Structure 1
């Protein structure tokens, strides 16, 4: 199986189809040859916090531990046109501004319940931003070493192919 097919199948398992730029970014391609937005350390830290709300640390490490924010920054820079980047980072700034308005603190300074509330609010207030953030977070997480080996079942050298194999109770799904 080729990596592209594996990523497409992973996207289907995650509940959707990867956009072409995200798929290109997951494969390490650079499709944006034009100008890009320079991301600040504060924006990257904010991305890490939002990603960690989407995939929090539980019995497995979360998106922040997997470095999903670095994946998001790279894919946005390398694969999305500047207009899409501006729209995405405007959505991120809007989330932070809404946090300040509602709770009097930056998103990073909120407690877990408040962060969850803000992300739920963003799901309805700015759905395009949230959907792109979710897509980039899940792709970055499940294609990272942590996501592929800790959150998914992983066999570095698989044996024979069994197309229909039942999972044991509590067993994780397989990494592709």
Structure 2
């Protein structure tokens, strides 16, 4: 019986570890090289969809962005318009850190977002309070950005609650 339990635990660990996302360093040789400050400068526009835990489309959105920098400090203003007419504004305060990492703060972000880029990929994590019914939910966002061309990237965000993915946001972001 002990042998069967041990085998089950080993199989479970193998399955769970195979589902984990790669480290951003995995993409170090991918091109074009993603430079956060260079990409998120000036005016940008994003088009996207929100999907629930089953992968069903729940909303569409368009985001107008305006980003400016002073040294290693940046401000990115995002104006969201959803297909149901709801609007939302988020202002990111970004810091490019000496160790190559990037941190960010916004009014609906709990704590500090932290991330890093490697090759053509940028990855960061943060906790967000999102509106839900007549209240808010604390959720975890796992953001992966893939630079496709120097002026276009695809952003995939996994929204997690209690360790379970409850939704996804996919955006195409373009420099104007």
Please state which band the TM-score falls in when normalised by the shorter chain. under 0.3
Please give the TM-score of this superposition, normalised by the length of structure 1. Answer: 0.22
Per residue, is there more strand in 1 or in 2?
Answer: 2
Please give the TM-score of this superposition, normalised by the length of structure 2. Answer: 0.22
- Max radius of gyration: which structure? 2
Per residue, is there more helix in 1 or in 2?
Answer: 1
